[in-house]
């Protein structure tokens, strides 16, 4: 705090938002009746509360573990911890915040709803994290600058742009895995459909923003050159 580390502040903000998102996903369940004949809370209700509590704890643990994995795959050319703590690199802090939020969205969608079980939640959470990493590679391939080089040079604008894209694809994956589980065929088909269309639509939206909303400038140059 006394070192005014904005990068760490961004990262911690993303982490706390991620915890809230995981909790919201955990409580999105069909609860049993709260009271029975005016005699107080039902046993089934308390079981549901306990299930939400344990699911939230598991989700927060998964958030921390998944963040480590995704961090190393998204910004794999340098240590994000060193960049945030030692170099106070705000771009890296923004990306880590985006990773926390996007990962939390994936986990929240995976644990929401009825049907299936822990194995389905784990499977779709893993698939969602794969999509996050693949989208990062896709994003870098479709930009005219090198993300790692720019963030390494303390380019906060590029870090914020990548963080926003991670949150965007996280929302798409949330929709893909959200709700009740019926069967693997329908669930996987819906997941793949949302993932593929999500990649294409987000790229299209970037082009729309570039050519329609900012016709006099090139967004990639504004990010990489003018920062």
CA distances from 192 to 124, 127, 142, 196 (A): 11, 10, 21, 6
- Tokens representing 182 are 């019926």
Q: Which pLDDT score, from 0 to 100, does residue 35 have?
A: 54
Q: pTM of the entire structure?
A: 0.81
- Which residues, including other chains, have CB under 8 Å from residue 101's CB and lie 6 or more apart? 14, 17, 18, 21, 166, 167, 170
Q: How is residue 3 annotated by DSSP? A: T
- List per-residue pLDDT tens for the chain, 227 residues long: 556 789 899 989 999 998 888 888 777 665 555 555 555 566 666 777 777 787 778 778 877 887 777 677 777 777 888 888 888 888 889 998 998 898 888 888 877 766 556 777 778 778 888 888 888 888 888 888 888 888 888 888 888 989 998 999 888 888 877 766 667 777 788 788 888 888 888 888 888 887 887 777 777 777 777 77
Closest CA to 69 of 136, 152, 164, 159: 136
Q: Which pLDDT score, from 0 to 100, does residue 59 have?
A: 75
């Amino acid at each position: 705090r006394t070192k005014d580390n904005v990068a760490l502040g961004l990262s911690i903000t993303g982490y706390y938002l991620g915890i809230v998102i995981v909790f919201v996903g955990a409580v999105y369940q069909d609860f049993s009746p709260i009271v029975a004949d005016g005699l107080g809370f039902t046993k089934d209700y308390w079981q549901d509360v306990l299930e939400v509590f344990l699911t939230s704890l598991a989700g927060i643990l998964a958030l921390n573990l998944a963040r480590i994995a995704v961090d190393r795959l998204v910004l794999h050319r340098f240590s994000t911890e060193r960049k945030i703590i030692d170099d106070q690199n705000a771009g890296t802090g923004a990306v880590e915040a985006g990773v926390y939020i996007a990962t939390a969205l994936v986990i929240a969608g995976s644990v929401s709803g009825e049907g299936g079980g822990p194995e389905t939640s784990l499977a779709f959470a893993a698939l969602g994290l794969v999509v996050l990493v693949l989208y990062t590679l896709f994003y870098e391939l479709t930009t005219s600058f090198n993300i790692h080089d720019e963030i390494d040079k303390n380019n906060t604008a590029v870090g914020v742009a990548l963080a926003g894209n991670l949150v965007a694809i996280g929302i798409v994956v949330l929709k893909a895995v959200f709700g009740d589980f019926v069967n693997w065929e329908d669930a996987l088909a819906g997941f793949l459909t949302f993932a593929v269309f999500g990649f294409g639509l987000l790229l299209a939206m970037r082009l729309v923003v570039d050519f329609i909303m900012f016709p006099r400038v090139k967004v990639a140059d504004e990010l990489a050159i003018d920062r």
